[in-house]
Structure formats: structure tokens, C-alpha cells
Amino acid sequence: MDVGCEVKLSAMKLRLHQFLSKTGVFASKRAVKDAVWAGDVTVNGSVVKDIAFQFKPNKKEVCYRGERLALPTTERCFLLNKPAGVVCSRLNSQERELGKQSVFECFRHHLPDQDFERLITVGRLDEDTTGLLLVTTDGTFAHRVASPEHHVSKRYAVSTAQPVSNADREKLRTGVEIELESNGEVDIYMTQPAVVEGGENLTTILTLAEGKKRQVRRMFASLGHEVLALERLSIGGLHLVDFGLPEGSFSEIDLNEASEMLFHHSTDKRP
């Protein structure tokens, strides 16, 4: 994050639990809440037990057990080759009991605790989907990339059990109807036109500028195709192949460079 963005973050109002989470001092949201409710957090010398208390970090002094806390001054971004079998979220107790694994474990022993605890994914990939995933400490950057208004393209290699016919490829290019669930209700959604390459040899290259939940799998399912494997190849002008990363490995990338490749090369395509 550049200096201008950092000043903006410090000048804007934050809820107390948001501020505490961003400091990287606490291991979880539960730890943040417990510290506040226990009276271990003060704002300008007064104990505050309301996690939703709002204030401007640049005008208030926050302490935890007498130690002053501050927001980090730099943000970081990483490009990860996500392996299969990991989820793009922090694990809750039920997921741990089920033996689930989090994508964040790829970073645990490679970053300072303060940075590790602030990591978020830029959008999500399904548990069984592999490939390019951006992980950052910068929530503003993550929101920009994921926002539909920016139309950042995402390119996937889709492996199916049967070849995708010319007719089906044409349907993908014009849009197909998929079912989306929201608040227990199922709605029919018409996907935006996609760029489609290949398909004759059981692998189709699909480029989208949107990202509904499990959208690629739902699109192919609507045409009667089972997706056997799904890999994200690129986001905008960031191509996984350029980084030479084995599954589970990551490379740090400058946020300004990432923004340039994402927002100024969003229509970039490769054969």
C-alpha cells in the first residue's frame, strides 16, 4: 500500500475489533473479543468493552495490557499456487474436527506473526480447485480486485470427462443459465459471455470477468459436463506459469506491480 493509502486508512473510522485484528497481535477474532470483554483494552486510557466502538486510529491511543498498539505501515501481497484439498478461509472448530486444511498454512512458518494474522485471500477458489490465488494483507486491494465493476479477467483450465462440443462451447461464449443459492433460495442466473478455447481434448480454457460461487463448475454442469479438475491459470495480466511455482509454493509481489498487471492488463490473453 502506498503512503497515501496508509494515511487514509489511519484517518478513517474503524470499529475496535477491526483495529485490533489489523494489528496482528491477536491469533483470532475470538481472541480479540475475549481481550475486549475482559477489559484488557483501553482507548485513550479508558477501558472499552464494546467491540463495535468506532474511532479514528490516528487520533486515539489504543493499549492492550498497557502496551500501545498500532496499525502496520506496510502491506504485502503474495501469489500462491494453491494446492487441492485446502479451503480459502481461516478454520473454525468444526472444520478442524473434520480435518480440513486452510490455505493460510502455506504461509505460517514463512512470515512474521503480525503479517500472517492479517492475511486474507483475494476472492476464493473451491477446496478442490488449484492454481493462481492472490493472498494479501491489504483489504482495500482485495476488494478492488474482487469487485465486479473492475472486470478483472480470470482464466481457467477445465478438465472434463467428455469432450465439449462446438455447440456447448458456443453456449459458453454467449452465456448459460446456472443456479445460485442465496439465503436458502435458489435463483437462476445468466452468466456473462466467456472466452472459450480448446475443448476437443477434454481440456477447455475458459476466461471470465465475473466470479459467482462455484461458477465454472456450475456452467459446465448446466451443459451436462462433469468437471474432473479445475485450475486457475491467470488473473488479469498475472500468469501462474511466469512464476514457476510448484503447488503449495508462493512468491511475494509488489502491490503496485500487481495492481498494474491486474487493472491495466485485464484483457490480456495467451494461447
pLDDT band at 267 (very low <50, low <70, confident <90, very high): very low
Q: 231 and 157 in one domain? A: yes
Q: 159 and 137 in one domain? A: no
pLDDT over 90, % of the chain: 60
Q: 56 and 17 in one domain? A: yes
User: Over the stretch 150-207, which tens digit does the pLDDT of each residue have?
Assistant: 789 999 999 999 999 999 999 999 999 999 887 788 899 999 999 999 877 899 999 9
Q: Which one of 35, 50, 69 terminates a domain?
A: 69
What is the model's pLDDT at position 233? Answer: 97
Q: 177 and 136 in one domain? A: no
Distance CA 183, CA 191 (A): 20
Could you tell me the CATH number of the domain that includes residue 52?
Answer: 3.10.290.10
- Asked if residues 235 and 132 have their Cβ atoms less than 8 Å apart, the reply is yes
What mean pLDDT comes out for the span 107-112?
89
Catalytic residue numbers, as ranges: 126
Q: Is the pLDDT reported for residue 249 higher than 70?
A: yes
- Whole-number mean pLDDT of the chain? 88
Q: Across the strands, what pairs with 130?
A: 231
Q: 100 and 86 in one domain? A: yes
CA distances from 103 to 74, 90, 151, 207 (A): 22, 8, 25, 24
What is the model's pLDDT at position 246? Answer: 94
Distance CA 253, CA 103 (A): 18
What is the model's pLDDT at position 149? Answer: 80
What is the model's pLDDT at position 101? Answer: 92
Q: Which of 115, 129, 120, 117 is nearest to 81 (CA)?
A: 129
Q: 194 and 144 in one domain? A: no
Q: 138 and 87 in one domain? A: yes
What is the model's pLDDT at position 35? Answer: 95
Q: 7 and 25 in one domain? A: yes
Q: Give the strand pairing for 203-208 and 195-198.
A: antiparallel
Question: How big is the CA angle at 244 (ends 254 and 259), to the nearest 5 degrees?
Answer: 25
Distance CA 119, CA 252 (A): 13
Distance CA 21, CA 208 (A): 33
Q: Is the pLDDT reported for residue 70 higher than 80?
A: yes
pLDDT over 70, % of the chain: 93
Q: Which of 30, 12, 27, 25 is nearest to 67 (CA)?
A: 25
In a domain, 59, yes or no: yes
User: Over the stretch 17-43, which tens digit does the pLDDT of each residue have?
Assistant: 989 988 878 878 899 999 999 999 999
Q: Is the pLDDT reported for residue 56 higher than 60?
A: yes
- Asked if residues 21 and 32 have their Cβ atoms less than 8 Å apart, the reply is yes
Q: DSSP 3-state assignment of 159?
A: strand
Could you tell me the CATH number of the domain that includes residue 94?
Answer: 3.30.70.580
In a domain, 261, yes or no: no
Give how many domains the chain has, as a whole number: 3
- Torsional sign, CA 181, 148, 140, 235: positive
User: Over the stretch 209-241, which tens digit does the pLDDT of each residue have?
Assistant: 988 889 999 999 999 999 999 999 999 999 999
CA atoms in the 13 A half-sphere facing the CB of 203:
9
pLDDT band at 125 (very low <50, low <70, confident <90, very high): very high
What mean pLDDT comes out for the span 52-77?
89
What mean pLDDT comes out for the span 77-103?
91
Q: Is the pLDDT reported for residue 135 higher than 90?
A: yes
Q: Where is pLDDT greater, at 249 or 74?
A: 249
What is the model's pLDDT at position 12? Answer: 65
Instruction: Please give the residue range of the domain that contains residue 137.
Output: 77-148+249-256
